[in-house]
Amino acid sequence: MAATASPPSLLRSRNGGTLTQCPMCGQPLLDHDAIERVEHARRDLEHEIESTIETRATELAKQVAKRERDAAAKKITELTAQVATHKDNVAELKRAHTDELAKQKQTHTAELRKLRASVRAEVASEAEQAAVSKVQRELRQKDRLINSLKEENETQQRRIEHLTADERGEMNEEELVSRLHVAFPEDKVERLGRGRAGSDILHEVRFNLDGTTEVAGLIVYECKDTLAWNNSFIAQAKKARLTHHTPHVVIVSRAFPRSLKDLCVRDGIPVVSPARLVELARILREMVIELHRVGLTAEGQAAKTDELYKYLSGAEFRAAFDVVVKTADELTNILSSERTAHERTWARRQQVYTELGGKAAAIDGRLRAIIERSDGRRRKGKVVPLARRSAS
């Protein structure tokens, strides 16, 4: 609290002189010490009053703060109770709402079940008739499709039975080895290994020089028994060059790069179909022999091989090779036609022999029946049976 202003000193008069009487009560003063004691008592009283006021103010402030805290705590308690009551009411409302929804769902499900049953009962007959008609139509269509597929399968089977492995597009590696043996009987041809996509065929080219058989070189055929072309075949063929120490590696495959077939050269590697292998092998074999005869180094042979493969990939070779292939196909067709004609003739001849034997047997049987038949009169002598004719 602010200190009150002290009154003017009691020891001096207003005109500056010494006081002789108490300015408060007017009584005469005995001495100057009494005035000082009064002054000290007044100041002590003021300090006491101020201290009392401050103490009382502090107590009042504490009482006010306590009342406010108590009131706030009471209010909080009341609000907490109200909140708890509201929560209980909300939970009760939620339970009631959930129960009501469950009842409505049960009612809706029961009504929906009744409606479905009613609709099902109304359309059951029509749906059943429509379903039966549809099934019958589908069965008839499937029967026709099955019969058609059976007929087509039988037709294709009859065609396949008259096709060679090359014409069927199969990778018959044993047959390839056999064809190479037949085409080049003086060479050594063997099949090496067997992988998931095919195996290697090693063709050791040999020729006779002054009565001595010499090995001219090696041709490797990498067989790829797959229906889809993969560019990794080229990398594998190049790796086979290093493995077998020969520049002559050929990929034999039913699958070819896009828009190519029968024969092509990709990155210095020939790719040929199984049906054209022998024709290409004959060309490569002649080149291997000529390279051996001139005695070129490995580098020279590799250079000449590159030149040959460039020629094989050109239009000039392609045109000549197509003529060779066409001629070979014509010869094969002629041979096949002759074989078929001979087989038909042989079959017809066998049929005539069979019919002739059957008729002769029937005549013999009829004659024997006439001769051995009893006519009611006993004849003397012995009946000799006729000799049977041979079927031929």
Domain membership flag for residue 325: no
The domain in which residue 272 lies consists of: 172-313
Residue 333, amino acid: N
Same domain, 110 and 199: no
| Residue 29 contacts residue 19 (beta carbons within 8 Å) | yes
| Residue 253 contacts residue 173 (beta carbons within 8 Å) | no
User: What is the full per-residue pLDDT of the chain (392 aa) written as tens digits?
Assistant: 444 444 444 444 444 445 556 666 776 665 667 667 778 888 888 888 988 898 888 888 888 888 888 888 888 988 888 888 888 888 888 888 888 888 888 888 888 788 777 767 776 666 667 766 776 777 777 777 777 766 666 666 655 555 554 444 446 788 889 889 988 999 999 988 665 444 689 999 998 877 888 898 899 999 888 888 999 999 999 999 888 888 889 999 988 988 888 888 888 899 998 888 988 898 889 888 888 887 766 677 777 777 877 787 777 777 777 777 777 667 777 777 777 777 777 777 777 666 666 666 666 666 666 666 555 554 554 444 544 444 44
Domain membership flag for residue 131: no
Q: Indicate whether this model's pTM tops 0.75.
A: no
- The H or E element spanning position 44 is helix 32-161
Same domain, 209 and 272: yes
Same domain, 55 and 114: yes
Domain membership flag for residue 186: yes
Give residue 3's pLDDT.
Answer: 45
How far apart, in Å, are the Cα atoms of 68 and each of 30, 54, 64, 374? 56, 21, 6, 153
Same domain, 178 and 117: no
Domain membership flag for residue 205: yes
How many structural domains does the chain have?
2
Give residue 188's pLDDT.
Answer: 92
Counted residue by residue, the chain has a size of 392
Same domain, 177 and 260: yes
Instruction: Give CB contacts under 8 A, 24+ apart, made by 209-218.
Output: 213/186, 214/292, 216/288, 216/289, 216/291, 216/292, 216/293, 217/246, 217/248, 217/288, 217/289, 217/291, 217/292, 217/301, 218/244, 218/245, 218/246, 218/248
Domain membership flag for residue 256: yes
Rounded CA-CA distance 149/50 in Å is 123
Same domain, 233 and 305: yes
Count Cβ neighbours within 10 Å for each residue of 206-236 and write b for 16 or more, e otherwise: bbeeeeeeeebbbbbbbbbbeeebeeebbeb
Domain membership flag for residue 361: no
Same domain, 195 and 282: yes
Same domain, 191 and 303: yes
Give residue 376's pLDDT.
Answer: 52
The residue from 282, 313, 344 where one domain ends is 313
Same domain, 177 and 289: yes
Rounded CA-CA distance 236/221 in Å is 12
The residue from 123, 138, 162 where one domain ends is 123
Same domain, 190 and 287: yes
Q: Are strands 269-272 and 249-253 parallel, antiparallel or unpaired?
A: parallel
Residues paired with 251 in a beta bridge: 222, 271
Domain membership flag for residue 368: no
Domain membership flag for residue 18: no
Same domain, 206 and 273: yes
Rounded CA-CA distance 271/283 in Å is 14
| Residue 220 contacts residue 203 (beta carbons within 8 Å) | yes
Same domain, 203 and 266: yes
Nearest Cα neighbor of 263 from 307, 218, 322, 316 is 322
The residue from 123, 138, 154 where one domain ends is 123
